[in-house]
Chains A and B, each alone.
Chain A
Amino acid sequence: MRSELNDTQNEPGGTIVSNLGADGMSPRSGWGKRFVKLSRSPVGLTGAIVVAVVLFVALFGSYLTPHDPGLTDLYNRLVPPSWVDGGQPQHLLGTDQLGRDILSRIIMGTQVSVAVGISAVLVAGVVGVTFGLITGYFGGILDTLLSRFLDSFMAIPGILLTMTVLGVLGPGVITLVFVLGFTRWVGYARVVRGEVLSLKSREYVEAAKALGQSNFWILARHVLPNVMASIIVLATLNVATTIIAESSLSFLGLGVQPPTITWGQMLNDGRDYITTAWWLATFPGVAITISVLGVLFLGDWLRDVLDPRLRK
């Protein structure tokens, strides 16, 4: 069915060379072993380091900024990066159209990207898993209805849906997180549903039923550990796409509003100066790309390590 191929849409960059062999490592082996494997995989290691740095900057950003990110300095507008002619050493990446230090603003922007990225994925995960459990378990009409609904849902481009909801409800971080979450829960639902369907008829479920335990919770307890691996991988990938989605919305002026600083906003501001001050539009994009790359690499490694079955 068409939808199967949809699942691969969110996959990272294919078979990146990994030092992990397909040795059928059981997903239940210790984390200690995994750490060793991590250090042997250049891709995974890079990803982990980048993600760690990003998280660190997000948490401690306020203390790391060389200047006050909101401080305007009209007489130092549009100063180029320090290594370019006309640059100043105290503004490593230059200043923007109001004289604000770009490096400081990029550091502050990390907070929104990380916060929104993680929360939206949490929302997506919770909603998706719940839906998957419910529809897989109850099946029947509910399942068919849901599939039809999913098809309709997928016919509207995610960003358009997000924009519209924000337009109706007004921009706001909470709304943003929830609506970004709502456009991503489908993947989780499918994975969980698949697992539920395959487990539904197994013997130990029958046995547990005979013992008088509630059906739904049997299912939950047996399904979740098995799908945890897929969910973690999916979640990592979703963080990546969510960061990009959030920055796209900010770029369009529909995401998180000023004075909160986001990378997307900085790119939007920089657009007017593209012909005269290229650095405004360049560095925030680099920040986004590096962050997302880190997450994708980490996700790839996680996928290899947690469930070699997922690898094609």
Chain B
Amino acid sequence: MKSRNLALLLVLVMVLGAATVGCGQGAEQGATDDGITEIVIAQGIDVRSWDIHDHNNTATEALHVNVFDYLVWRNQDLEIQPALATSWEQVDETTWRFELREGVKWHDGEPFTAEDVKWTLERIANPETGAELREHGQYKQIQEVRIVDDHTVEIITFAPEPVLLNRLCRLGSSMLPKHYLEEVGWEGFEAHPIGTGPFKFVEWIKDDRVVLEAYDDYWRGRPEIDRLVFRAIPEDATRVAELLTGGVDIAVNVPPQEWPNVESNSDTVLKRANSQRVMLLVDRLNPEYKTSDPNVRAAIDYAIDKQALVDTIMGGAGTPTRTRVTPGNFGANPDLYNTYLYDPDKAVELLAASGYGPDNPCQITMHSPAGRYPMDKEVAQAIAAMLESVGFDVNLQIVEFGQLSNIRNAQEHQELYLIGFANSLWDAHLALNSLRQAIDGEKQHHYFINEEFEQLTAEAAVEMDRERRAEMYHRAQEIIADNHGPHIYLYQLKNSYGINKQVNFEPRADEMLWMWPVTVNEGS
């Protein structure tokens, strides 16, 4: 009798025990807790890595800017201002001299000096140490960093570099601590990174959150926020739900269907900012793909109603464009912005000219990520439907973004894939340089062979006269647009942020989540 009861009790206890495992963890904290001001920001993905030279990911950089500093930085109006460098001048065609800020300390108390600048820039610029890193292409123009004294450096480039300053205030140009890295190596750095930025690293729970705390000795002054938490919440609905219930204070990338929820909620507000990101289709020009045929490419371009995509699926948060170099970026071609091609009848004609028709549909494969960019899956499906209505037979493959990256890297993508590119350089150079046939002898994979384009981009890369440079880039963009390849641009995104009313955060056009100036209203 007794043992029976005991046993039944045991079972119940086991069940209850399982039910309470993990209870009590993850209790969400509000903006103020025990007098500490904590802000929680939710992004769609987790920070990828702490190696600032090897992630090439906007969301990661958006977090990194709170931990690291650049030599120069862009303010809210995107003008270049002094940061770790207080002044600079161009000594000759290939030499720039920078005066460094004094009294700056790393999170571990050591002083920031010219040694750090040399170590950081040479690591990424030098092929021996940097060739395998993602940002190498943006820094290999630097030949050497010469230390003049503790707070003065000279950056020497191989050829005239019109965009050197741009290169020093973007993703990949944060300053790294030489002494620390030499001591703990990259493994140690990935476990506990340090920088000169306003917030110090506390912990990183993978695929969940990064926790930072205020750095008292920050050179701009201690930030108002005491604690900063970046959470990774891939699901749009969950991210927004957390915002609405107060679990997070800022939600990045609120999709259009959630806008009414955020706006009608009394605690939250929706703020929009133009972004540098342009959604586009990458079409392959290799001979074995249907898109090597210019008629097919043009048909694709004419078949897609970009304005409809923006107006309906994106809820108006976007601008059609035929170039990736949007206003604000040096070299932007205004004739190609806020305009688009759409003529489905012409698309049918073009396909017919290449022998495709109702009994011979043009079969293509299109890849698309899901959940990486706002409404990417829906846009891909809409595009596929538009293409099919003019005579394409589209095999649409919707995959997770990580997998799409792998497919791209392995060169296994097909006729089309949907993707969104930003521009951290704020210069046409970044948008167009990668479309060259070969970069320093390394052949690119996209089979785009256009002599005029090659010549223009090569010259513009070293042209110091701004007007002449801009003209060259204008023409280069025209060539891409008229060729409908290797990219077909769709629209520029406008990002929507859901923000708790108590938090004074203004979104930036470069998508950086710069939290140093952010204040919180009392009594929240």
Let me know if chains A and B touch directly in the complex, using CB atoms closer than 8 Å: yes
Residues from chain A with a CB closer than 8 A to the CB of B385 are 70-72, 98
B257 at the interface (CB under 8 A from A): yes
**Residue contact A98 to B382, C-beta cutoff 8 Å:** yes
B164 at the interface (CB under 8 A from A): no
**Residue contact B308 to A272, C-beta cutoff 8 Å:** no
A75 at the interface (CB under 8 A from B): yes
**Residue contact B312 to A77, C-beta cutoff 8 Å:** yes
What are 14 A-B contacts with C-beta separation under 8 Å? Answer: A70-B385, A74-B305, A75-B312, A78-B257, A97-B313, A98-B381, A258-B381, A258-B396, A258-B398, A271-B237, A274-B237, A275-B237, A276-B257, A276-B261
Choose one: B236, B261, B311, B382; the contact of A272 (CB below 8 Å): B236
A178 at the interface (CB under 8 A from B): no
Residues from chain A with a CB closer than 8 A to the CB of B308 are 74-75
Residues from chain A with a CB closer than 8 A to the CB of B311 are 74
B269 at the interface (CB under 8 A from A): no
B212 at the interface (CB under 8 A from A): no
**Residue contact B237 to A97, C-beta cutoff 8 Å:** no
Q: Closest A residue to B397 by CB, please name it.
A: A257
Residues from chain A with a CB closer than 8 A to the CB of B305 are 74
Question: Measured between C-beta atoms, what is the minimum distance from B242 to chain A in Å?
Answer: 13
Alpha-carbon distance between A271 and B311 when the two chains are bound, in angstroms: 22
Residues from chain B with a CB closer than 8 A to the CB of A275 are 237, 241, 257-258, 261
B378 at the interface (CB under 8 A from A): yes
Question: Measured between C-beta atoms, what is the minimum distance from B390 to chain A in Å?
Answer: 13
**Residue contact A97 to B258, C-beta cutoff 8 Å:** no
A277 at the interface (CB under 8 A from B): yes
Q: Which of B229-273 contact A (CB under 8 A)?
A: 236-237, 241, 255, 257-258, 260-261
Question: Measured between C-beta atoms, what is the minimum distance from B57 to chain A in Å?
Answer: 23
Alpha-carbon distance between A276 and B254 when the two chains are bound, in angstroms: 13
**Residue contact A272 to B237, C-beta cutoff 8 Å:** yes
B309 at the interface (CB under 8 A from A): yes
Residues from chain B with a CB closer than 8 A to the CB of A258 are 381, 396, 398
Alpha-carbon distance between A258 and B308 when the two chains are bound, in angstroms: 23
**Residue contact A98 to B396, C-beta cutoff 8 Å:** no
A74-B308, A258-B396 known; A272 and B313 CB under 8 Å?
A: no
Question: Measured between C-beta atoms, what is the minimum distance from B230 to chain A in Å?
Answer: 23
Residues from chain B with a CB closer than 8 A to the CB of A273 are 257
Alpha-carbon distance between A98 and B398 when the two chains are bound, in angstroms: 16
Question: Measured between C-beta atoms, what is the minimum distance from B358 to chain A in Å?
Answer: 16
**Residue contact A276 to B312, C-beta cutoff 8 Å:** no
**Residue contact B313 to A77, C-beta cutoff 8 Å:** yes
Residues from chain B with a CB closer than 8 A to the CB of A277 are 257
Alpha-carbon distance between A75 and B308 when the two chains are bound, in angstroms: 8
Residues from chain A with a CB closer than 8 A to the CB of B398 are 258
Alpha-carbon distance between A220 and B64 when the two chains are bound, in angstroms: 72
Q: Closest A residue to B305 by CB, please name it.
A: A74
* CB 8 Å contact bits of A57-75 with B (1 = contact, 0 = none): 0000000000000111011
Question: Measured between C-beta atoms, what is the minimum distance from B77 to chain A in Å?
Answer: 35
Alpha-carbon distance between A277 and B256 when the two chains are bound, in angstroms: 12
Question: Measured between C-beta atoms, what is the minimum distance from B153 to chain A in Å?
Answer: 50
Question: Measured between C-beta atoms, what is the minimum distance from B103 to chain A in Å?
Answer: 50
A72-B385, A77-B313, A276-B258 known; A98 and B237 CB under 8 Å?
A: no
* CB 8 Å contact bits of B365-385 with A (1 = contact, 0 = none): 000000000000010011001
Residues from chain B with a CB closer than 8 A to the CB of A75 are 308, 312
Question: Measured between C-beta atoms, what is the minimum distance from B263 to chain A in Å?
Answer: 12
Q: Which of A192-210 contact B (CB under 8 A)?
A: none
